[in-house]
Amino acid sequence: MLTCNKAGSRMVVDAASSNGPFQPVALLHIRDVPPADQEKLFIQKLRQCCVLFDFVSDPLSDLKWKEVKRAALSEMVEYITHNRNVITEPIYPEVVHMFAVNMFRTLPPSSNPTGAEFDPEEDEPTLEAAWPHLQLVYEFFLRLLESPDFQPNIAKKYIDQKFVLQLLELFDSEDPRERDFLKTTLHRIYGKFLGLRAYIRKQINNIFYRFIYETEHHNGIAELLEILGSIINGFALPLKEEHKIFLLKVLLPLHKVKSLSVYHPQVVMALLKYWPKTHSPKEVMFLNELEEILDVIEPSEFVKIMEPLFRQLAKCVSSPHFQVAERALYYWNNEYIMSLISDNAAKILPIMFPSLYRNSKTHWNKTIHGLIYNALKLFMEMNQKLFDDCTQQFKAEKLKEKLKMKEREEAWVKIENLAKANPQYAVYSQASTISIPVAMETDGPLFEDVQMLRKTVNEEARQSVGRKAVSSVQLRKV
């Protein structure tokens, strides 16, 4: 067990004895002491939590005192969450010191030092053994930053550039749980401390420079990109020169790194978030870039983005601009994308089927009809039962729409009858009559349509077998 040393302050630990190392003291609960003594006890608990324990070489050592620290951290999280005016000025240096002692450490060696051969499906990250304590320290610090009582003007004396630099170094942790907390923590600091914003951007740029041009290995690139997504969204127009340089020297070169697949989901989600609504040529460009990304994405990463991705593709297929619909449907000509779709057809087909079937009937462009027919045929060949289930589900949805329309018609009839029963009706009877909505013809899949598609698929299969048989006979003759 290690203790933190702080000049001029009394640690809440027992004095050293001949029997063993320093040991924490089980202090009273803050709620059990008078309000006048709560600040003092709060500071004692913060100092108590500066005691570090060994979770690696001897995980079973000091179990009692590990639990004392865990309980103290949990209590302080609850204390600052549910009480107001408890974050007083003397608390700030104690909190920052406690956070620094627990968090700013040398990270363990990477389990995959080359980086280029990193495989998210195969490589297991090195998880932080002391996570039961570290998680609570992160939670406590986040609650402090998010508290209505938090005063950045006081905290800026302690949360400075050195603190931020050490925090950014932790993004290379292999533990995804820690990187997730770091992402939220840095985002809160960026929002609270205006004076640190330029420094944070500069240091993130430096991490990217080292990653792109030197090491090609860093575990926190995806999380840093998510933070930058929020930061860039707040840039004022026109863009400053530093932001243009960042695009050219950092964001675009990120595409050349071998481990690109690790942070591709963040790129895809950003494309979907800013998808053009009214500019069709730009939409086609987005579809082009998206296909290039999907060509190299790992199957495990594809699963994370497939549902929002295909919801957007379903909208593109329904686009009245035929070039947008055509470009989206060309995805079904890409063998690798088709293999990803085939592996996840149970999720993707229910999303795509309504748009594909509806536009096979209603789209104005005949070329689109042919491409949609091809996509439906491929889905049917992938999984006949799933295709039939989607057909039945689509028919059921259309039937619900018909019933709802019928209910509306009946409601209008009731309203009209009530109006006719009104004595004033005769005065206005010569006016235009209330029009009753007419049920529109629905475009649900007819049984004949599905049978025709199935028949075509079967005929093509038989013709393929026949051609193979003829070829084999000719070979025997030769």
Q: Is residue 316 part of a domain?
A: yes
So what's the pLDDT on residue 430? 59
Bridge-partner residues for 2, per DSSP?
Answer: 52
Per-residue DSSP letter, 2: B
pLDDT at 257: 66
Looking at residue 10, its pLDDT comes to: 31
In a domain, 77, yes or no: no
pLDDT band at 116 (very low <50, low <70, confident <90, very high): very low
Q: What is the mean pLDDT of residues 222-249?
A: 80
Decide if pLDDT at 473 tops 50: no
At residue 273, does pLDDT exceed 70? Answer: yes
390 contacts 445 by C-beta, under 8 angstroms: no
Lowest mean pLDDT among 201-205, 320-324, 411-415, 444-448: 444-448
Say if residues 361 and 415 touch (Cβ distance below 8 Å): no
Amino acid at 422: N
Looking at the predicted structure, is the pLDDT value of residue 118 above 50?
no
Whether 280 maps to a domain, the answer reads yes
Torsion of CA 318, 321, 322, 326, to 10 degrees: -60
Q: Could you tell me which residues come within 8 angstroms of residue 6 by beta carbon, excluding any fewer than 6 positions away? A: 47, 50, 97
| 17 within domain boundaries | no
* Residue found under tokens 């536009």: 359
Q: What is the mean pLDDT of residues 267-294?
A: 83
Distance CA 345, CA 332 (A): 13
**Whether the predicted pLDDT of 250 surpasses 90:** no
More confident residue, 448 or 251: 251
Q: Among 3-17, 339-353, 443-457, where is mean pLDDT lowest?
A: 3-17
CA distance 69 to 132: 10
108 burial via Cβ count (<10 Å: 0-12, 13-18, 19+): middle
Q: Would you state the torsion angle of the CA atoms of residues 318, 324, 328, 330, taken in this order, to the nearest 10 degrees? A: 120
Q: Please check the confidence at residue 50 and state whether its pLDDT lies above 60.
A: yes
> What was the pLDDT predicted at 449?
65
C-beta of residue 52 within 8 angstroms of C-beta of residue 102: yes
> Which of 217, 210, 216, 204 shows the shortest CA–CA distance to 109?
217
Mean pLDDT of the chain: 80
The mean per-residue pLDDT over the stretch 276-292 comes to 87
Contact 180, 227 (CB under 8 A): no
pLDDT at 477 over 60: no
Residue 55 predicted with pLDDT over 80: no
Report the length, in residues, of the chain: 478
Q: Which two tokens stand for residue 372?
A: 């949609």
So what's the pLDDT on residue 28? 75
Q: Does residue 294 have a pLDDT over 60?
A: yes
Does residue 137 form part of some domain?
no
Tell me which residue has tokens 């309000």: 35
- Confidence tier at 37 by pLDDT (50, 70, 90): confident
**pLDDT class of 13 with cuts at 50, 70, 90:** very low
Number of domains in the chain: 1
DSSP bridge pairs for 155: none
Closest among 404, 407, 388, 391 to 444, alpha carbons compared: 391
Give the tens place of pLDDT for each residue, 140-197: 999 999 999 999 999 999 999 999 999 999 999 988 899 999 999 999 999 999 999 9
| pLDDT for res 417 | 86
Looking at per-residue pLDDT, the higher value among 444 and 46 belongs to 46
Q: How far apart are CA 158 and CA 151, in angstroms?
A: 12
Closest CA to 287 of 333, 249, 351: 333
Q: What is the CA radius of gyration of the chain?
A: 32
Residue 364 within a domain: yes
Examine residue 249 and state whether it is found in any structural domain, yes or no.
no
Q: Are 287 and 316 in contact (CB under 8 A)?
A: yes
**Residue type present at position 107:** L
Lowest mean pLDDT among 205-219, 247-261, 293-307: 247-261
In contact, 362 and 323? CB cutoff 8 Å = no
> Residue 8: what pLDDT?
34
**How would residue 12 be classed by pLDDT, with cut points 50, 70 and 90?**
very low
Measured from the Cβ of residue 8, the count of other Cβ atoms closer than 10 Å reads: 4
- For residue 435, pLDDT over 60 is answered with no
For residue 73, pLDDT beyond 60: yes
- The average pLDDT across 63-74 equals 86
**Cβ atoms 41, 90 nearer than 8 A:** no
Is the pLDDT at 474 greater than 80? The verdict is no
Share of the chain above pLDDT 90, in %: 37
For residue 304, the enclosing domain spans 263-382
**pLDDT 10s digits, 358-377:** 998 888 898 999 999 999 99
- For 129, list phi and psi in degrees, rounded to 5: -65, -35
The 10s digit of each residue's pLDDT in 391-420 is 999 888 889 989 999 999 999 998 888 888
Burial of 379: CB neighbours in 10 Å, binned 0-12, 13-18, 19+:
buried
Q: What is the DSSP code (8-state) at residue 251? A: I
Q: Is the N-terminal amide bond of 113 cis, ω within 30° of 0?
A: no
Judge residue 389's burial from the number of C-beta atoms within 10 Å of its C-beta, 0-12 exposed, 13-18 middle, 19 or more buried: middle
Alpha carbons within 13 angstroms on the beta-carbon side of residue 371 total 21
> Whole-prediction pTM value?
0.57
The mean-pLDDT minimum among 313-322, 338-347, 459-468 falls in 459-468
Count of other CB atoms within 10 angstroms of residue 256? 10
d(CA 248, CA 229): 16
* Token pair in block for residue 265: 């989901």
Q: What share of the chain is helix, strand, coil (3-state, %, to 5)?
A: 70, 0, 30
C-alpha pair distances (Å), 302 with each of 170, 266, 379, 445: 27, 11, 19, 30
Higher pLDDT, 267 or 72: 72
Question: Could you tell me the pLDDT band of residue 16, with boundaries at 50, 70 and 90?
Answer: very low
Q: Is residue 217 part of a domain?
A: no
Q: 30-44, 90-104, 139-153, 177-191: which range is least confident on average? A: 30-44
DSSP state for residue 56 in the 8-state scheme:
S
DSSP assignment letter at 297: -
140-150 tens-digit pLDDT: 999 999 999 99
Exposed/middle/buried for residue 155 (C-beta within 10 Å: 0-12, 13-18, 19+): buried
Q: From the CB of residue 317, how many other CB atoms can be counted at a distance below 10 Å?
A: 26
- The mean per-residue pLDDT over the stretch 199-222 comes to 87
